[in-house]
Structure 1
Amino acid sequence: MKLKFKIEQDQSLRDFIAEHDISDKLLSAVKTNGDMRVNGIHVTIRYLLRKNDVLEIIFPQEKRGKQLSPSKMELDIIYEDEYLLVVNKPAMMPCIPDHRYHDQTLANGLIAYYEAIGLDSTIHFVNRLDRETSGLLIVAKYRYIHYLLSKEHIERKYVALAYGHVVDQTIDLPIGRINKNVRREILPIGKPSVTHCHVLKQDENFSVVECQLETGRTHQIRVHLSAVGHPLIGDRLYGDIKNLADTYFLHSYQLSFVHPITKQTLRFAKERKIDETYFCNM
């Protein structure tokens, strides 16, 4: 990746780098395997920038993990530029490879896409979804973009199918886990976790709930709704309400964030119909 800046005032290159949130570790990588150029000429960090100079920062090539082999698949990419993309992940697809899922993950599909478009980089998920959860994900194409986005607030809204008669509420309960258990718990020593719930539709046995996250804990919506007595229908880890789908409905349908380079506010929405198999099997 290469960034280009037109300098607006005299200042040291070191100060300019600090203002643009390039860490010492990343700066060291740029010095070793990248480059810094002013008006096309290599410079060091001690250089004094002058107004109207053109600065180029060339970041080192990204390295891929060995598990990220390309696996061609259909991807629903709803936005892309040279720095990031937004993709709509289907349900029942893992984000990254592990000991159970080796190459049929979203990351493997994205690597195949990168190779098809000639992008020599790796995968940086800014937000991540459970295998069963569908919806919108932000993928930074470079480590620096991922770092910038990780420091910004990303507005995320989900639609969930919960058991029972949910009411509009804010659930503010700390979430943690015991040892290395996959299951998360409401724990006094857990991390602060806040979910805003708004009921969109309901019947005697279910509620369709919009959930807006203030925090992004693992399994947050699943844990919070279960904690107030309304687990996701079909979620075997946090409830016992079965359905024909044998899994739960949770969809990340809306994202909003400020682009780390252009500073424009980007908003995306992707609806998904709730199939009847997700409802109670009672």
Structure 2
Amino acid sequence: MCKQFQLTFEAIEEVLLREALSKWGISKRTLTSIKFGGGSLLVNGHEKTVRHPLSKGDIVTVIFPFEEVSLGLIRQKGNLEIIYEDDVLLIVNKPHGQSTIPSREHPSGTLANFIAYYYEQMSIPSTVHILTRLDRDTSGIVCLVKNRHIHHIMNHGHVMNKTYEAIVHGKLERTTQEIIKPIGRKGSSIIEREVREDGLFAHTDVSVIRQYADFSHVKCLLHTGRTHQIRVHLAHIGHPIVGDDLYGGKLDRINRQALHCASVDITHPLSGKKMTFTSSLPEDIQKLIP
């Protein structure tokens, strides 16, 4: 039987329960879902309202309601390469050619479809909360969380470092460089992006791992998360990703962009422990390297 997700806190001052919950990161939206969705607030084991005055040392237990998977998200059995899992985190390795979430063009067979099925089989009472998405033809690490509240706190001020590896055309003149260029939609396209003055701030650090005769193996650290950010920034400096025909890459050696999310540094939302997850380059990209 599914067990409802819960968190426990200790009051350190005399305040109303509502004020303490706000300081602990429980949003008003979450409180509404607790009140009307089957959750509860306990103080020293007894159910209370948000107007209850806390005393120092009181133990507050927040029991979150069960979450329902979107009716439009089809549960599908599929292969999942799980890198790490605990009560709140799920870290997986996504293959290239798989969309992260359903779309009109790809309504099924996505990572989200497989995760929804996995949650159902494992009796995990959560909908699919994806922290980090990847383009369909980009492989590597995708981070998910198993609770709406955890998703909320990790999307607000939570630091996460994502490092990608790519094979790009040509030799870079500098072994390390910052690319700080705004990115926006290109013309009326709903897919293609470009560097443009009226775009959104975007910052990528690029360092060379190794250079070859006509291409380079590089590492990219994202400071922002704009759509196609690495692909656009690398193309802008004259070194498009091999296989990325949308941004000037050639398809003669690989039939997708040679881009892989290789590592993610994350601070655990509950323990505060710093964690690093890694993923090796897939075979199709490895074949490009002599």
Partner of 1:228: 237
Q: Is the 8 Å Cα contact of residues 169 and 249 (structure 2) preserved in structure 1?
A: no
Matches for 1:4-153 after TM superposition, within 5 Å: 4-33=8-37, 34-151=39-156, 152-153=158-159
Equivalent residue for 1:169, pick from 177, 181, 186 = 177
Task: Give the letter for the 1:170 counterpart.
Answer: E
User: So what's the TM-score if we normalise by structure 2?
Assistant: 0.91
Task: Give the letter for the 2:60 counterpart.
Answer: L
Partner of 2:275: 266
Unaligned runs of at least 5 residues, structure 2: none
How far the C-alpha of 1:240 sits from its partner, in A, is: 4.3
RMSD: 1.8
Count residues with an aligned counterpart.
Answer: 280
Partner of 1:204: 213
Task: Give the letter for the 1:248 counterpart.
Answer: Q
Q: Is the 8 Å Cα contact of residues 36 and 56 (structure 1) preserved in structure 2?
A: yes
Equivalent residue for 1:247, pick from 253, 256, 277 = 256
Q: Is the 8 Å Cα contact of residues 15 and 53 (structure 2) preserved in structure 1?
A: yes
Task: Give the letter for the 2:70 counterpart.
Answer: G
Q: Kindly tell me: are residues 273 and 138 of structure 1, through their superposed partners in 2, closer, same or farther at Cα, counting changes over 3 Å?
A: closer
Q: Distance in 1 between matches of 2:140 and 2:286?
A: 19
Partner of 2:164: 158
SS at match of 1:4: strand
Task: Give the letter for the 2:278 counterpart.
Answer: A
Partner of 2:246: 237
User: So what's the TM-score if we normalise by structure 1?
Assistant: 0.94
Unaligned runs of at least 5 residues, structure 1: none
Q: Deviations over 1:233-268 (max 9, x none)?
A: 111111142224321111111111111111111111
Q: Is the 8 Å Cα contact of residues 243 and 277 (structure 1) preserved in structure 2?
A: no
Task: Give the letter for the 1:31 counterpart.
Answer: K
How far the C-alpha of 1:10 sits from its partner, in A, is: 3.0
Q: Kindly tell me: are residues 270 and 240 of structure 1, through their superposed partners in 2, closer, same or farther at Cα, counting changes over 3 Å?
A: closer
Aligned-residue sequence identity (percent) comes to 37
How far the C-alpha of 1:40 sits from its partner, in A, is: 2.1
Equivalent residue for 1:217, pick from 211, 226, 234 = 226
Q: Deviations over 1:122-163 (max 9, x none)?
A: 111111100101111110111111111112121110001111
Q: Deviations over 1:177-212 (max 9, x none)?
A: 144521011110111101100000111211110000
Q: Distance in 2 between matches of 1:262 and 1:134?
A: 28
Q: Is the 8 Å Cα contact of residues 173 and 224 (structure 1) preserved in structure 2?
A: yes
Q: Distance in 2 between matches of 1:111 and 1:64?
A: 7
How far the C-alpha of 1:63 sits from its partner, in A, is: 2.4
Q: Distance in 1 between matches of 2:124 and 2:60?
A: 23
Q: Is the 8 Å Cα contact of residues 166 and 241 (structure 2) preserved in structure 1?
A: yes
